[in-house]
Amino acid sequence: MPDNVLWIITDDQPRSTLRSMDSTWRRLAGKGVHFRQGYSAMPLCGPARASMLTSLYPHNHGCDTNMTHQPFVAQRRDRDTVATRLQAAGYDTGYFGKYMNGLAQDPTYVAPGWDRWVALLDGMIDDPRVSVDGEIRRVEGQRAFDRFAARRLRRFIRRRQDSGPWFAVFSPTAPHGPYTPSPQHADDFDAVEWDPPASNEADMSDKPTWLRDLPPQDRRRMRRIYEGKLEELQDVDDQVAKVLDVLRDTGQLGRTWIFFVSDNGYLLGEHRLFHKSQPYEESAGVPFVVRGPGVEPRAVDALVSQVDLMPTTLDLAGLDPDAGRDLDGRSMLGPLTSGDWSGWRRRLAVENTHLDWVLVREGSHVYVEHQGAGEWELYDLARDPHQLRSLQDADVSEWSRKARQLFGSRGLAMRALEQ
C-alpha cells in the first residue's frame, strides 16, 4: 500500500524561526531532512499556495496577487492539482486550514479533489467564518480556527488508520498577524531581542533606486512582531506534536511522509523593509523539512522550492508527475531516500510577477533583476549572508540571460535550464 502524505503549511514564517519550535525541530527536522535553502515560488501567500497545489510558477499559473481564489478558479487551475490527481488514484484527501484569499466571496465552494474540506473564509477578522464541506460555521478568532482545523485533521487521521492511503494538508493561520497567541504561550518570548545585521541597513546605495530613501522601521515594533510570531509558533508546535502523537498511536507514523513549509518568509526591518513579497532571503526563504519512511536524518544545502511538493507527492503515490502536463517542480523522492543530491538542480528560480522582479539562486550567489526598473542586484551569500553589499562592479550579462530563459519557460524545459 502506498504511504500517507501530510503537508503542514504555516503562514508568514521566517526561515530562521524554525529552531524555536521544539517538537517540530526534534520530531520532524531531527528525524528527517532539514533543507537550509528552501524557497517560496513567490513570497506572497496566495500565489505561493497556488504554486504548491499545481507545481507551476506564477508566470505559468497566472495568479500574482493575494486575491488568488477567483483567478485560480477562472483559469480552471483547481481542476488539476495534487489533490485531484491523488483522489483519482484512490487516496482519501482532506484540507484543513487557510486556503486562498478570496474564498470568502465564494463561501460554499469546495475545491475539486478534496473529500474533506475545512477551510477558512475570512482570516483577517476576529470572528472568522469556516466552510466545513460547504457548510458555513463560525469560530472565535484565528487561533480558535487553527485548533478547530487541527482537531478535524486528527479525526481524519484516526478514522483512516485501517483504510487505504490518505493525503492531507494542515494550514494554520499562524504566525500571521494580528498576533494572538494562546494564554499558555503569550509570555514565552517577552524578553526576546531582535537586532539582525541587516536591520535598518545604514548604507542603501547598493539597493534599487526605490529602496534607497526608505525611512527606518520602528525597531520596537519589529521586536514586538517577532515576539508575536515566535509565541504563535509555539501554538503551531503544540498542534504538530498532537498530530504526530495521533500518527504514532494509530500505527501510521512509520508509513506517513510529512512535509513542513511556509507560504513565504517575512521581513522585520531588514533592508528597512517590513512584510514579504521582496527578493531577499528573509522574505523569499522558507522553512522546509521532510520526514518519511527510510529517510536518514540530515541537514542539506540542496536548492528546493514549493513547486517540488506536488511532484514528490505524486511520485510517492506511484504516479507519473508529468502525466497530462509537465510540472515546473521536480520529485525529491530519489535524493530523499538515497541521500545523494549530486544530480539535483544547480540553480533555482523565485519571482514576483506582480512587482516585476525575478531571482536566480546558483551556488552561493543570488541574482535579482528588477525588470521594470532596469536594475539588478548580485550577492555572494558565502561572504555576505545578510545581503548588505551588492556586487555592483560585476558583469551580470550571463545572469540576466539565465533569468530571461528561466522565466520564459515551463515544465521540462524549465527544469532543463536548472541543471
3-state class (DSSP) for residue 51? helix
The answer on pLDDT for 37 being more than 70 is yes
Q: For the residues 227-252, what does the mean pLDDT come to?
A: 98
pLDDT tens figures, 336-375: 999 999 999 999 999 999 999 999 999 999 999 999 899 9
So what's the pLDDT on residue 108? 95
pLDDT tens figures, 275-287: 999 999 999 999 9
Distance CA 369, CA 403 (A): 8
Distance CA 319, CA 89 (A): 8
Cβ contact 116:83 at 8 Å:
no
pLDDT tens figures, 301-321: 999 999 999 999 999 999 999
Cβ contact 21:75 at 8 Å:
no
Q: Return the closest-CA partner of residue 89 out of 141, 12, 19, 166.
A: 166
Q: For the residues 267-271, what does the mean pLDDT come to?
A: 98
Put residue 300 in one of left, alpha, beta given phi > 0 → left and psi -120 to 50 → alpha: beta
pTM over 0.95: yes
Q: Return the closest-CA partner of residue 335 out of 287, 286, 365, 290.
A: 290
Q: For the residues 168-194, what does the mean pLDDT come to?
A: 96
pLDDT tens figures, 121-157: 975 556 689 999 999 999 988 889 999 999 999 999 9
Place of cell 540553480: 347
So what's the pLDDT on residue 141? 84
- What single-letter amino acid sits at 326? D
So what's the pLDDT on residue 125? 59
Hey, what domains does the chain have and what are their CATH numbers?
A: 4-343 (3.40.720.10)
The answer on pLDDT for 183 being more than 90 is yes
Cβ contact 153:169 at 8 Å:
no
Query: Hey, what's the torsion of the CAs at 27, 30, 34, 40, to 10 degrees?
Result: 20
Query: Angle CA(55)–CA(354)–CA(304) in degrees, nearest 5?
Result: 35
So what's the pLDDT on residue 164? 84
